[in-house]
A and B are shown apart, each in its own frame.
Chain A
Amino acid sequence: MSTTATAPAHQTVLCTECGGNVRVPSDVMVGEILACPDCGAELEVQTVTPTLTVELAPEVQEDWGE
Chain B
Amino acid sequence: MKLALLCSRIRVEEKLLIAELDRRGVAYDRIDDGELALRFDRRNFDYDTVFERSISFGRTLYTLQTLESWGVRCVNAANVVATCGDKALTHIALERAGVPLPKTALAFTPESALAAIEELGYPAVIKPVVGSWGRMVARVNDRDAAEAVLEDRATLGSWQQQIFYIQELIRKPGRDIRAFVVGDEPICAIYRTSDHWITNTARGGKASNCPVSGAVGEIALQAAKAVGGGILAVDLVEDHDGRLLVIEVNHTMEFRNSIDTTGVNIPGRMVDFVIENSELRIENFQSDSTSVVPAPASSPSALEATA
Spell out A's residues near B (CB within 8 Å). Answer: 27, 29-33, 44-45, 57, 60-66
Contact = CB atoms under 8 A, between A and B. Distances in A.
B9 interface: yes
Contact of A63 (B14, B131, B254): B131
B57 A65 contact: yes
A29 B10 contact: yes
A10 B254 CA distance: 28
B57 A63 contact: yes
Given A27-B15, A31-B32, A63 B7 contact: no
Contact of A65 (B14, B32, B133, B158): B133
B253 interface: yes
Contacts, number: 59
B227 to A, nearest CB: 14
B176 to A, nearest CB: 15
B169 interface: no
A30 B57 contact: no
Contacts of A30: 10, 32
Residue among B10, B30, B251, B253 with max Cβ neighbours from chain A (10 Å): B10
A61 B14 CA distance: 19
Given A57-B9, A64-B132, 18 more contacts: A31-B9, A31-B14, A32-B9, A32-B10, A32-B15, A44-B9, A62-B130, A62-B160, A63-B85, A63-B131, A64-B55, A64-B56, A64-B57, A65-B131, A66-B133, A66-B251, A66-B252, A66-B254
Interface size class for chain B?
20 to 34
Contacts of B254: 66
Given A29-B15, A32-B15, A61-B56, A66 B7 contact: no
Interface in B214-268: 233, 250-254
B162 interface: no
Contact of B132 (A44, A45, A57, A66): A66
Nearest to A65: B132
B92 interface: no
